[in-house]
Structure 1
């Protein structure tokens, strides 16, 4: 897509997408036995051949997967010559928490390409993790591109540009060879063309596919054969989930607690999962609220017969009254 096309899409009037408008209620917020709020979500699970196993809501219409696209973007980078140690490759797929080992890993990616933090173009921010952010604020530290949760991806994008002799100053431009390669890879694994493009929170392009396409892509990534670039990405995520998320993140617990699984959370309440047998799961909470996302995913996994030691973490969503649990966010309709 051209820069002009992206600009036109940003200003064009839009109808409510089916993934939002047709989403059923899949979670209740219960306070003292009373349903206080409800979250609508669309969810799909696909078989190894890409066919639907479970479909709730508008799963064939496009959404922005946001950071759930990152493992697929990293695949494009590896296909175009990026070579990183496994933990750094997981960091390239990450929305990291901003812990010290994450920041050191980003510095390693940059230095390996002869670059520095000054080359990063992602939006400066505090660390994503609440404890790390509190520490930064106490120490009087300012927002930085290094600390922002997408710095691993941006460092890897820059390193890929260096490998290929591509311009590093314009790597976020949709017409840049790097972004074109990412668009092609996403379309290939999703089995459908990219439907829309816009600017993500970090400043890089974000590309839309359907939830069904996202689930297919993750199933293909997770079931890839030994020796393929896809398997390289999947193994890095499985072996180093803390680099993908952080030590206090539900996505880390999910990967650690479920053999063969890969996953990536995304902003605006997106979650994508791939299993070693080729099944994929993708969901989008219609209102973008994150609190229902892990609860709904756990319920879907249970329905599909997937066992995980992470269910306790995913389903821990207490509703508080005067600082004490008086209810919970619970899945319904699954």
Structure 2
């Protein structure tokens, strides 16, 4: 059996430590520690010019990016004509069904004759997908009521119900939503699966483009071929490995460096003219609570630093980028989630991406407390903090 990326283990990027003695040091609260876990991973950081300024491990090795590519998939859906499912009638119905904010009156149907590869900005007559629904298409949602309403709105615009979703039935991944659903006697549903927003967007794109909805997750389906081409364009990588994601959609293997570049391309468009890239970035920044959910790491990061767009994925992958052009991507080797966001925040700080700069969202300011909680989550003992997860970036360049 072969393994993409070779057999060289990446370096340790974090460890879990517990205090064995304490003193009055307010910075650490410890003098001796017991290191109980060491976590390996790969990290890459880009500066505003797109140059690699931080590299730990081998960021050119192909990884499974999981849900971190959903913003890129959303760009692909817009380019394939997603807006056309939200024409004047359907768009109005979708806005009425969504509960998470007003629609985007400037969005609409792209010009099919536009020569610009990013052409997909709305025409005034079309309506187009509202920003909050574009955010849910880009999401791994927690299953909160407003998120589920947004998924239903996308399906309604496509003229389909929940039975059209090809994702498996599941329970909400958000802790509170999960507990509420079980307490009400609920069970697994396709709508509750965290990828249902993406799947609803794929169905709506097929309807808009005149493609069959049946088989929309097949890698050979015209929708997936279009999405694959867009991911290759954004990442600058040729896809050589295609697997099946947890939700049943195609999973295209890309280098971690390509993931950082792809997210950077979307974030850079945030302040530019309207385009699919700009609209996805703007939707994520305007509706971070729809992209993840209460307490979710990517939502918390976007709330802490509003000039950032971020997306996490299963198996320890996470990525973030700013409108100024900084980007960081992280892959934890063993697939655990616990160190992914702390390492990401540490890398963002290292390259200067968290320094407020002029541009979209910068005037809102940085929520340092929220950011610190993401960067150094507490390790509990007896219900109280007795240690921490400490990120570490060895041999970083």
- By the TM > 0.5 criterion, same fold? yes
| 1:223 counterpart SS class | helix
Contact 2:47 2:351 in 1 (8 A): no
Q: Does structure 1 residue 286 correspond to structure 2 residue 333?
A: yes
Runs of 4+ aligned residues of structure 1 deviating over 4 Å after TM superposition are: none
Unaligned runs of 5+ in 1: 1-12
Q: Does structure 1 residue 255 correspond to structure 2 residue 243?
A: no
Q: Does structure 1 residue 330 correspond to structure 2 residue 372?
A: no
Counterpart Cα distance in 1 of 2:257 and 2:76: 20
1:1-334 to 2 correspondences below 5 Å: 13-15=1-3, 17-18=5-6, 21-32=8-19, 33-83=33-83, 84-224=129-269, 225-307=272-354, 308-309=366-367, 310-333=370-393
Counterpart Cα distance in 2 of 1:47 and 1:181: 29
Counterpart Cα distance in 1 of 2:346 and 2:295: 21
Counterpart Cα distance in 2 of 1:206 and 1:53: 28
TM-score using structure 1 length: 0.93
Task: Kindly state the Cα deviation for residue 51 of structure 1 after the two structures are TM-superposed.
Answer: 2.5
| 2:251 counterpart SS class | strand
| 1:291 counterpart SS class | coil
Task: Kindly state the Cα deviation for residue 260 of structure 1 after the two structures are TM-superposed.
Answer: 2.0
Counterpart Cα distance in 1 of 2:46 and 2:352: 14
Task: Kindly state the Cα deviation for residue 316 of structure 1 after the two structures are TM-superposed.
Answer: 4.4
Give per-residue Cα distances to partners, 1:288-332, cap 9 Å, x unaligned.
111111111111111112334241231242222222221111112
Task: Kindly state the Cα deviation for residue 87 of structure 1 after the two structures are TM-superposed.
Answer: 0.5
Q: 1:142 to 1:59 in 2, by over 3 A?
A: same
**After alignment, is 227-236 or 65-74 more displaced?**
227-236
Contact 1:265 1:271 in 2 (8 A): yes
Counterpart Cα distance in 2 of 1:333 and 1:113: 46
Contact 2:42 2:331 in 1 (8 A): yes
Unaligned runs of 5+ in 2: 20-32, 84-128, 355-365
Counterpart Cα distance in 1 of 2:375 and 2:45: 19
CA RMSD, 1 decimal: 1.4
Q: 1:303 to 1:48 in 2, by over 3 A?
A: closer
Task: Kindly state the Cα deviation for residue 50 of structure 1 after the two structures are TM-superposed.
Answer: 3.3
Counterpart Cα distance in 2 of 1:201 and 1:219: 25
TM-score using structure 2 length: 0.78
Counterpart Cα distance in 1 of 2:69 and 2:323: 18
Contact 1:216 1:279 in 2 (8 A): no
Residue of structure 1 equivalent to 2:109? none
Task: Kindly state the Cα deviation for residue 259 of structure 1 after the two structures are TM-superposed.
Answer: 3.2
Give per-residue Cα distances to partners, 1:169-201, cap 9 Å, x unaligned.
100000000100111000001011113111111
Counterpart Cα distance in 1 of 2:145 and 2:379: 31
Counterpart Cα distance in 1 of 2:317 and 2:218: 24
**After alignment, is 156-165 or 308-317 more displaced?**
308-317
Counterpart Cα distance in 1 of 2:224 and 2:62: 19
Q: 1:16 to 1:166 in 2, by over 3 A?
A: closer
Give per-residue Cα distances to partners, 1:82-119, cap 9 Å, x unaligned.
12110100000000000000111011000011110111
Contact 2:80 2:209 in 1 (8 A): yes
Q: 1:270 to 1:325 in 2, by over 3 A?
A: same
Contact 1:65 1:209 in 2 (8 A): yes
Contact 2:297 2:312 in 1 (8 A): no
Task: Kindly state the Cα deviation for residue 264 of structure 1 after the two structures are TM-superposed.
Answer: 0.5
Counterpart Cα distance in 2 of 1:65 and 1:136: 29
Task: Kindly state the Cα deviation for residue 17 of structure 1 after the two structures are TM-superposed.
Answer: 2.7
Task: Kindly state the Cα deviation for residue 132 of structure 1 after the two structures are TM-superposed.
Answer: 1.1
Task: Kindly state the Cα deviation for residue 30 of structure 1 after the two structures are TM-superposed.
Answer: 0.2
Task: Kindly state the Cα deviation for residue 48 of structure 1 after the two structures are TM-superposed.
Answer: 4.0
Contact 2:322 2:353 in 1 (8 A): no
Counterpart Cα distance in 2 of 1:115 and 1:21: 47
Equivalent pairs, count: 321
